[in-house]
Amino acid sequence: MATIRDIADKLGISTGTVSKGLNGANDISEQLRQTILETAVEIGYRPKQMRTKDNQKLCIFIENMEYKTPEQFGYDIILGFRQAAYPARCGVTVLPVTPEFQASERYDTYMLKNGYIGAFLVGFALKDPWMAQLHNTSIPTTLFDNYIRKNPSVCYIGTDSFEGIDDGIEHLIRLGHRKIALLNGSEHSMITEQRRQSFIDSMTLHGLEVSEQMMPYGYFVAAAAKDHVANLLSLGATAIVCANDLLASGVIEECRLLGVKVPEDVSVIGFDDIPLSAKLNPPLTTIRQDRIELGKCGFYTLNSLINHVSVCKNLLRPQLIIRNSTAPVKK
Amino acid sequence: MATIRDIADKLGISTGTVSKGLNGANDISEQLRQTILETAVEIGYRPKQMRTKDNQKLCIFIENMEYKTPEQFGYDIILGFRQAAYPARCGVTVLPVTPEFQASERYDTYMLKNGYIGAFLVGFALKDPWMAQLHNTSIPTTLFDNYIRKNPSVCYIGTDSFEGIDDGIEHLIRLGHRKIALLNGSEHSMITEQRRQSFIDSMTLHGLEVSEQMMPYGYFVAAAAKDHVANLLSLGATAIVCANDLLASGVIEECRLLGVKVPEDVSVIGFDDIPLSAKLNPPLTTIRQDRIELGKCGFYTLNSLINHVSVCKNLLRPQLIIRNSTAPVKK
């Protein structure tokens, strides 16, 4: 276990100055403070509050995701995390972050400076500054829907895409559908690639044909649907599986504009089961991710990492929620 | 929540008789008792001891695996499970089982009769009677190295095969090896197929050639090596990755008999890091599965299932342990 003395010796300064740097005193320069923090991270120093079992401080960093009200995707994830953290007497801070904020300070030094012993990162993009730093961090970190290879301090949690997509496709097959399209999310996202591969695997497993034309990339928003729906219908799709519920809501709207009836003319399936899904017209059949469970798993896996159990991946079961946007194929 | 009354009504018997059946009284027939238990399972009845939070009883069922002494593969798995269960005040029973035992009684009724609220199954084979029953069980069940599709009451834990195999192959590539073979375990095992696919993916990722001849199936025992080593060497293999440490120990022994030096003539890598590995001559480079961590994860995921968090897969990070059975490729 590295001590304040080790930091002082390495930098050739007094232990008193090191303490000031670690505790955020005003009478040393910001530059020296940063050097002290970075050295502390480098040699693996942990302040006292990070070594005791009670009142451990955890942080949820959230980006690209709304979470303030129950209708928003992130709300239940944070709630589930807090529900699991509470009996373990861990304090939880929720911090929205931007790429600019991440560029302004290293992840490890930010965590050390603020006494957080672990973090749950939600909604981050692959190109975010902190994502690159996670390859080398030794701070217990759980990521929702992002995966860092070979770092035993970092864990990925999410929902099993294959089981979800396959549930949807089996449901469509039972309804007589054979020409099934995938309207995917943005390219260069781990989840988009997972959904695509799951779709290919499931269709192949059931002996159905897949083609590039029937698996276009879009974006994870409703507006992305209008560029693709007419084309998919002209290719003969009788059902469209969408990479999330917002895209599915866009498909339903676009069909309405085109005079195509859902589900009589075309069946639509979403992914996520956000609160909006049940209120669409028609209510959306969708592959549910249980966000309360995801939040709880965020805490459980983070707690495992803190206790030196190096979880790599933790995936939850999805659940197909059948509503009215799917129906037997039109004869 | 189903009650004793529900069971009584369904069977057309008194609640007193149902209680006798559930409590194992002697004055009803074994056949009636079995009917009562099966009905209780069917309608989702949970006896009182399964509904309270304290002193919950869990069971570890173990098959095809030694676990009584620290040198044996199962020992640390059970130890880790107990270590995690203790602070949660769960009682843990360890029961070795055979296929005959499984055929003699349904999994669900056995659990209910004995008041176990969840189980960790270790070492089971795909063809075991209880494995087929797990597709429909509602009893929280965690499996080591076995996967049941789409049942939210069942979870799979293990070690990430791809990261492990890829660590081994990257190590061999740094030592100059290009002709790398995989001596695999038994066919028709989930783990064997995982190791094979991981090997293909990793070799392909690094631009190396794979062929069927260089990936033979064997068995997970030392004696299986003798059927394959001479052939792999004649095909030009300079390194052999083995699906477990016992196989690797067999490869080292077979090389000795053939007058081929390990690691000077051929490098050998195992998988597992059982205690034997460090004592081999030469000590074995191997891909470690941390069995204490696996045991702890067995408990954590089971506890998640009991608390209605439907974990599907939980994989741990492997760790490459470099010893003396690998060396630079012979010029």
Chain segment A242-272, per-residue pLDDT in tens: 999 999 999 999 999 999 999 999 999 999 9
- What is the pTM assigned to this prediction? 0.84
| Residue B24: alpha-carbon gap to chain centroid | 33
Q: What is the 8-class DSSP label of residue B318?
A: P
For residue B272, report the phi and psi dihedrals to the nearest 5 degrees: 125, -45
Q: Which ranges of B115-189 does DSSP label H, i.e. alpha helix? A: 129-133, 161-174
The answer to whether residue A26 scores a pLDDT higher than 70 is yes
**Contact (Cβ atoms closer than 8 angstroms) between residue A172 and residue A239:** yes
Q: Out of A18-32, A311-325, B99-113, which region has the weakest mean confidence (pLDDT)?
A: A18-32
The answer to whether residue A80 scores a pLDDT higher than 80 is yes
Divide the 331 residues of chain B into consecutive groups of 10 and give the mean pLDDT of each group: 87 89 82 83 72 78 92 92 86 94 94 93 92 95 94 96 97 98 91 95 97 95 95 97 96 97 98 95 97 95 92 96 96 79
Q: Can you tell me which residue has the tokens 């492990």?
A: B164
pLDDT at B39: 82
- Residue B271: both structure tokens together: 């998988």
Distance from CA of A111 to the nearest CA of B (A): 23
Q: Can you tell me which residue has the tokens 């944070």?
A: A78
The 10s digit of each residue's pLDDT in A269-306 is 999 999 999 999 999 999 999 999 999 999 999 999 99
- Residue B115: both structure tokens together: 């008041």
pLDDT at A35: 84
Which of B141, B63, B150 has the alpha carbon at shortest distance from B102? B63
- Average pLDDT, rounded, for chain A: 92
A-chain residue closest to B299, CA distance: A304
Q: What is the 8-class DSSP label of residue A159?
A: E
The 10s digit of each residue's pLDDT in A137-191 is 999 999 999 999 999 999 999 999 999 999 999 999 999 999 999 999 998 788 9
The 10s digit of each residue's pLDDT in B84-107 is 888 788 889 999 999 999 999 999
The answer to whether residue A55 scores a pLDDT higher than 70 is no
pLDDT at B54: 62
- Any chain A CB within 8 A of the CB of B310? yes
- Average pLDDT, rounded, for chain B: 92
Distance, in Å, from the CA atom of A165 to the CA atom of A198, rounded to the nearest integer, reads 6
- Any chain A CB within 8 A of the CB of B53? no
pLDDT at B52: 62
pLDDT at B19: 87
Q: What is the 8-class DSSP label of residue A280?
A: S
pLDDT at A54: 62
- Any chain A CB within 8 A of the CB of B76? no
Report, as an integer, the average pLDDT of A205-225: 95
pLDDT at A187: 87
**Contact (Cβ atoms closer than 8 angstroms) between residue A168 and residue A177:** no
For chain B, state the CA radius of gyration: 24
Q: Which one of A293, A297, A309 has the shortest CB-CB distance to B297?
A: A309
Element (H, E) at B286: strand B285-288
Contact between chains at B296 and A304 (C-beta distance less than 8 A): yes
Q: Which residues pair with B59 in a beta bridge?
A: B93, B119
The proportion of chain A whose per-residue pLDDT surpasses 70, expressed as a percent, equals 98
User: How would you list the strands of the sheet with B267-272, edge to edge?
Assistant: B180-183, B239-242, B267-272, B285-288, B319-321
Distance, in Å, from the CA atom of A269 to the CA atom of B106, rounded to the nearest integer, reads 38
Q: Using pLDDT thresholds of 50, 70 and 90, give the confidence band for residue A228.
A: very high
The answer to whether residue A49 scores a pLDDT higher than 70 is no
> Higher confidence at residue B78 or residue A53?
B78
Distance from CA of B163 to the nearest CA of A (A): 7
Report, as an integer, the average pLDDT of A14-43: 83
- Any chain B CB within 8 A of the CB of A321? no
Distance from CA of B11 to the nearest CA of A (A): 33
Distance from CA of A167 to the nearest CA of B (A): 9
- DSSP letters, A2-52, are --HHHHHHHHTS-HHHHHHHHHT-TTS-HHHHHHHHHHHHHHT---GGGTS
The 10s digit of each residue's pLDDT in B187-208 is 878 899 999 999 999 999 999 9
> Which residues 6-45 on chain A approach chain B with CB closer than 8 angstroms?
none
pLDDT at A19: 87
3-state secondary structure at position A143: strand
Q: Which ranges of A44-136 does DSSP label H, i.e. alpha helix? A: 73-85, 99-104, 107-113, 129-133
The 10s digit of each residue's pLDDT in B265-307 is 999 999 999 999 999 999 999 999 999 999 999 999 999 999 8
Contact between chains at A163 and B312 (C-beta distance less than 8 A): yes
- Cα distances from A186 to residues A224, A234, A244, in angstroms, run 10, 23, 11
Cβ-proximal residues to A25 (8 Å cutoff; 6+ apart), any chain: A19
Contact between chains at A316 and B300 (C-beta distance less than 8 A): no
